[in-house]
Amino acid sequence: MSPTKESREEAIARLTKSASELETRTANARSAEISAHAVTSQAYKIIAELLGGVIVGIAIGFGVDRLFGTAPWGLIGGVLLGFALSLWMARRTANRLMAQAKAAGIQAEAIPFEEAGEKD
């Protein structure tokens, strides 16, 4: 048996097709990786907003207590105010992310949580 002979143009076409398929596969892998990094960075941003609001509230409450001698009421008020502020900022960020996903045409499917060993 002799190997099939293909013309130079056929070989170039076959190699070009293979290169295009490889480029498509690697581009999809890169875009998935970039997307995963973007999601992770947004999650860290929300966590930072939650922690940052409370820390700023503690600092302001501590300052009010030192300035006016109202310990511990300034600290308690600062923590509550910081917590409320951090929830508001995190909710605002989540709403913005949902609006961006909706504009991009991404529809998230609701998946119910099932405990391990739970049966239908």
* Tens-digit pLDDT profile for residues 6-49: 788 888 888 899 888 888 877 766 776 777 788 888 889 999 99
Where does the pLDDT of residue 101 fall: very low under 50, low under 70, confident under 90, or very high at 90 and above? confident
Smallest Cα–Cα separation from 62: which of 48, 52, 47, 76? 76
Residue 2: predicted pLDDT: 44
DSSP 3-state percent helix, strand, coil across the chain (nearest 5): 75, 0, 25
Cα dihedral angle (94, 42, 49, 102), rounded to 10 degrees?
A: -10
More confident: 93 or 33: 93
Query: Which residue bears the tokens 């056929």?
Result: 10
Mean pLDDT (whole number) for 68-96? 94
Confirm whether pTM is higher than 0.85: no
State the amino acid at position 40 in one-letter form.
Answer: T
